[in-house]
Structure formats: C-alpha cells, structure tokens
Amino acid sequence: MSIETNIFEQVEKYETIIIHRHQRPDPDAYGSQCGLAAIIRSNFPGKKVYQVGENVHGLAWIAEQEKIEDDVYKDALVIVTDTANQPRIDDKRYAKGKFLIKIDHHPNEDPYGDICWVNSHASSCSEMIMDLVNAVGGQLSVPDDAARMLYAGLVGDTGRFMYDATTPHTMRIASQLMEHNFAAAVINQKLDSIALPVARLAAYVYENMTITKNGAAYIVLAREVMEKFEIKDASTAPIVPLLGKIVEVKCWTILVQQKDGSFRLRIRSKGPVINELAKEYAGGGHPLASGAFMPDGEKIPEYIKKLDAIAASYTGESND
Ligand code: AMP
C-alpha cells in the first residue's frame, strides 16, 4: 500500500481529525493545514475536523485557526503539516491524539509520527496535499476554497515560482488549482503587498546592510530599530528576500532581535548551502532557506565569519 493510501485510510477511519502546523506560520503552513482541513470537511461532512494554532493577523485572509479543548484529542487523528521537527509544532497537544501523521517537505531531521510522509523535493507542503489528493484517484475532491488556500501556500513557498524547488510538477499542480473558482491574481497581490512600516524598514535595510567581498550580506535589526519602525518580528518576512535581489550577494542573513534580547536568524542563499550553518545555531531548514537562534549577540561576529566563509568557498553558479 502506498503511503498516500495509508494516510487516506487513516483519514477515513477517524471521526475527529485535528490538524497542526509550525509556529510562526507562513502561507504554506496555513495553506497546507487549512487546505487539507477543508478537503476533509467537504469529503467527509460527518467528521469533526479542526485546524489549530495561534491566529496570525497577517494570514487571516487565508483562514482562521480554531480553539479546542484538551478532551477533543482523545481518540483523534492528528496530522501535522509543513513542520520538520517536533519543537516547532504549534500547540504541544499534538502528542495527545491517538494516531499521528507528519506531512512535510523539509529535510527529514526528525521523523516523528506513526506515519511520516516527507518529500523534500516538493516545492511546498501545499503541493504535497495535492499529491495526496491525486494519489488516491478520485476519492477526494477539492472545494474551491481549499484550492485557494493551497494556491496561496504554493505561491508563498516558491517565492512566486522563483525558487529552485519550483518544478514542472509544481506548475502542473498550480494549473490544477487555478482550474478552481478563486481569484488567483488577488492572492498574488496579497502575497506581494507590504504594510507601510515594512516599506520604511526595507529602505533602512538597503541603507544599512553590509555585503562582504565574498558575497555574504547581513543586517542586524536591533530592538531599537524594530521599535522605531513599529515592526513586530512576524512582519519581517517580506524583508528577508530583499538582500538576495542584489547581484553581488550569494547568501545572506537577517538577525532580528527579540524582546528578550535573543536573536532570530533568517538565512537565505542563491547557491551556497546554508542549513548546516543553521544547525550550528539551534536551527535548520532547507539547503537555501533556513532559520536559527542565538540567546544573545555575543556570537554574531563568529556567525557572520562562517557565513562569509561559506560564500567564499562556493564555486557553483548562483542564480544572479
Ligand atoms: P524563516 O526564516 O523563519 O522563514 O525560516 C526558513 C526555513 O528555515 C523554514 O521554512 C524552516 O524550514 C527553517 N527553520 C526556521 N527556523 C528553524 C528552527 N529553529 N529549526 C529548524 N528549522 C528552522
């Protein structure tokens, strides 16, 4: 039996299904989670299906998260989408269900769950949800609203079809989703829109970043800067790709200081592999898009040196 069929059979079997995704969600986390929930709801109207986690204001246009009591987990099937490792799962009650399924497209560093379905070649977890639908041939239909959410996830995680993980298969799935009745252009615009404070911060980033001679770029967004621009950590996502637009930059990092003084490291690359570096600083992720953490600023110079060395030793072509 294929893993997709096995997942479908578990979905058929359980009356209550609770779907989780990662903390600090992005459109793919929301899209894969809530898109899957909408598909199950419409195909199995008798089941109780919940999507849980913190509600993020900026993603409310995709879907709303639900609050549920602990006892709902008793005898429930729990599915976690788009989340590589257990510490990153939003709402730790995921472990309280009867059966656990992981569906993800990140490197499988933490193969948790009774079923663990990971395809690190998929552009997005939303693409995998459509792979699941297609694999069980006609047994699952996709309501228009689910197609809208999955499209948002797919477009979000591919940087609007720009990143390496965008394959001919990704485009076929995008096309399949666009056959549904929703306004794709509106979603593209929403994903591309930035709030005014973010636009002002973007100007600050371009003015104040550093680019090493080897092509590593960085900027530290200290608390004072975040406060001056009235930016919350969750709003920094549109800032992250900016440094990569510069021709000379091969890999780059944005260090966002948190209220407690610690730093969230966001690391990206056009070619040099940066996820091993992320792992050195309590993080991980994709070869060209990772995140990590520092309790304070002490190791920032060492970290930047390492990023610079990665840029220096890269001999491949970067997509510039
Ligand atoms: P971010 O910069 O937070 O958008 O993260 C980019 C990617 O890095 C995410 O899609 C995750 O795959 C991964 N990532 C971020 N933070 C962590 C972490 N603390 N541990 C493992 N992977 C992470």
Distance 66 CA to ligand 1 centre (A): 24
Three-class DSSP category at 98:
coil
pLDDT of residue 170: 98
Straight-line distance from the first to the last Cα atom of the chain, in angstroms, rounded to the nearest whole number: 44
pLDDT of residue 318: 55
pLDDT of residue 74: 97
Distance 207 CA to ligand 1 centre (A): 26
Domain with CATH 3.90.1640.10 in the chain: 3-192
Please give the single-letter amino acid code of residue 314: Y
Which uninterrupted H or E stretch holds 206?
Answer: helix 196-208
Digitized pLDDT (tens) for each residue of the chain, 320 residues in all? 999 999 999 999 999 999 999 999 999 999 999 999 999 999 999 999 999 999 998 899 999 999 999 999 999 999 999 999 999 999 999 999 999 999 999 999 999 999 999 999 999 999 999 999 999 999 999 999 999 999 999 999 999 999 889 999 999 999 999 999 999 999 999 999 999 999 999 999 999 999 999 999 999 999 999 999 999 998 899 999 999 999 999 999 999 999 999 999 999 999 999 999 999 999 999 899 999 999 999 999 999 999 999 999 998 875 44
pLDDT of residue 320: 45
Give the residue, by CA position, lying nearest to ligand 1 atom 11: 285
pLDDT of residue 197: 96
Arch. (CATH architecture) of 3-192? Alpha-Beta Complex (3.90)
Give the residue, by CA position, lying nearest to ligand 1 atom 13: 285
Distance 26 CA to ligand 1 centre (A): 11
Q: Are 278 and 268 in contact (CB under 8 A)?
A: no
Q: Which residues line ligand 1 (CB under 6 A)?
A: 84-85, 88, 106, 266, 283-286, 289-293
Q: What's the angle, vertex CA 129, arms to CA 126 and CA 132, rounded to 5?
A: 155
- Going by C-beta distance under 8 Å and a sequence separation of 6 or more, which residues neighbour residue 310? 216, 251, 272, 273, 274, 277
Give the residue, by CA position, lying nearest to ligand 1 atom 7: 290
pLDDT of residue 164: 87
Phi then psi for residue 161, to 5 deg, are 65, 25
Distance 77 CA to ligand 1 centre (A): 26
Q: Are 42 and 141 in contact (CB under 8 A)?
A: yes
Nearest atom in ligand 1 to the alpha carbon of residue 266 is 2
CATH classification code of 196-313? 3.10.310.30
Domain with CATH 3.10.310.30 in the chain: 196-313
Give the residue, by CA position, lying nearest to ligand 1 atom 6: 290
Q: Are 131 and 4 in contact (CB under 8 A)?
A: yes
- Going by C-beta distance under 8 Å and a sequence separation of 6 or more, which residues neighbour residue 287? 107, 269, 273, 274, 275
